[in-house]
Amino acid sequence: MNAPLALLAELTHRCPLRCPYCSNPVELARASAELTTVEWARVFEEAAAIGCLQVHLSGGEPTARRDIVEITAAAHCAGLYTNLITAGVLLDASLMARLKAAGLDHVQLSVQDADPAGAERIGGMRGAHARKEAAARIVREAGLPLTLNAVVHRQNLHNLVLLIETARAWGAARLEIAHVQYYGWALANRDALLPTREQLEEATRIVEVARQTHRGRLVIDYVVPDYHAARPKACMGGWGNRFLGVSPAGHVLPCHAAESIAGMEFPNVRETSLRDAWEDSEAFNRFRGTAWMPAPCRGCERAEQDWGGCRCQAFALTGNAAATDPACALSPQHGLLAAALARSGAPAFRYREFG
């Protein structure tokens, strides 16, 4: 069994933005259910003890927590490399200075579009784009490395060249261009978000050109969507293989969307140790390795490369988390992707919100 390399600490589901592709579950955890500062400090110590090297402080919006500085300090004291994943709209110079003093190592800033009007329509918050630009400047002035994260889809891919230019203008050293993955709020908005095949091919061409143009100045990561695929991705490096997450309410998850699988129960850090959850829990072992796989995954030469694809996507599309991921052309349900693409094109969003 591998040790987990990274911990995603979802500190809260609260967020000023209302992004329609948010990976948080549709049923959001209230603030009253969130782990305390002390509980998070114990989680970080246990994560380091089982081999985690880094922690991603995420949400929701992690800076919505009043104790974000104390939480960051606890992660740093546990010996973890600390990455803040933020929308940036609540970040000011004072908070940035305190986070750096607490041991923050890196900031990953989300951006919804290169066009301010488009960004604010997608994120559902007026003035957000200007605040993000200011946040990027604050991070640079603090001397911390900056990654820009651009989630791309049908309604902003026309601005992909400008998004890459935005990353350069804002001083990012790395840009993650990630096509929407369809679970949670994104699944509810799939018809409005799915790109056409032509959009995907043009986006891939733009990324390839930009990687050559900006080589040595900007690293570009690129995550493609599954709905145009013939083979699935190794989701999170395989279920229970390299990654674990902890939800705001303390559930330990093999991937950040795992709670979208109805009927599964996950261990909670208030009741069990992180080591026991990782090594011995039924939830982590259910889809770990290859023994669980049905045909055509079982015996496939790619079984230990893609690990059967995404369990959350299999459930979202087929209602069965143990089914072959329909992103695979060998799946008997591969046609579900084509059917979803045929229905896409709706312009309106269902925005992320509590209740």
User: What whole-number distance in Å separates Cα of residue 281 and Cα of residue 252?
Assistant: 10
Token duo for residue 320: 């069965």
Residue 6 tokens read as 């990274």
* 235 in a known ligand binding site: no
State CA 187 to chain mean position distance: 14
Residue 22 known to bind ligand: yes
Q: Which residues contact 258 (CB under 8 A, 6 or more apart)?
A: 245, 264, 266, 283, 311, 312
Q: Where are the beta strands (DSSP E) in the chain?
A: 6-10, 54-58, 81-86, 106-111, 146-152, 174-179, 219-223, 243-246, 252-253
Cα dist. 249→19, 137, 272 in Å? Answer: 21, 33, 13
Phi, psi (degrees; rounded to nearest 5) at 337: -70, -45
Annotation-wise, does 15 bind a ligand? yes
Structure tokens at 127: 């003035």
State the amino acid at position 47 in one-letter form: A
Axis crossing angle, helix 311-318 with helix 335-343, rounded to the nearest 10: 70
Cα–Cα distance between 334 and 72 in angstroms, integer? 43
Q: Residues annotated as binding site?
A: 15, 19, 22
Q: Residues annotated as binding site for [4Fe-4S] cluster?
A: 15, 19, 22
